Amino acid sequence: MTDHWKQMREAVKRDRRTTRDGAEVRKSAELVTDRKKPSYQRVAHHWDEVIGRWADSRYEPPLSGDADVFGLSVHVVPAFFEQYRDGSHDVVLTYFNAEPLAESTVNDVLRVVSFAIQGRSFIPTLVDLGRGKVYREISETLDDVDDRLARLSGLFQRSWAA
């Protein structure tokens, strides 16, 4: 099995580190196989729509972190960090697939990132490049998200132990 999005993930990281103008992502969309080309071109189009949000920030190499999600250890590896003049950072994870993310999934991801990369200056940021959407805020109460994560963690731990 191959990783369909590997080249695009690497292009996104290169783009943030270097030209910051989308060129690396557009080039990746042109250089892939014909089978990958439609999905890569869709992502490149949406990348061009979202990169302007970081015009006044600068790239920083991402730090990974481990989250304790109610007894389950989750290793979080962001795609990149963007630091703003005020010292705050977008801690960016990317999603490429055409299937939309459920609102609860977006909230769960943002919450787990906040457990792994802690501090008020670190803002979990999920970029859905299938649709050109950027998520930075949890749309449910933290209690509801935490209850769901605790249930999921428990289910996973019980099934893993079986």
What's the pLDDT at 161?
78
What's the pLDDT at 1?
65
| CA neighbor of 95 nearest in space, from 8, 1, 158, 157 | 8
Predicted confidence (pLDDT) per residue in 13-46, tens digit: 999 999 999 999 999 999 999 999 999 999 999 9
Predicted confidence (pLDDT) per residue in 83-135, tens digit: 999 999 999 999 999 999 999 999 999 999 999 999 999 999 999 999 999 99
Which pLDDT band holds residue 160 (cuts at 50, 70, 90)? confident
| CA neighbor of 95 nearest in space, from 139, 133, 45, 67 | 133
| CA neighbor of 54 nearest in space, from 26, 109, 17 | 17
From the centroid of its chain, how far is CA 84?
18
What's the pLDDT at 2?
80
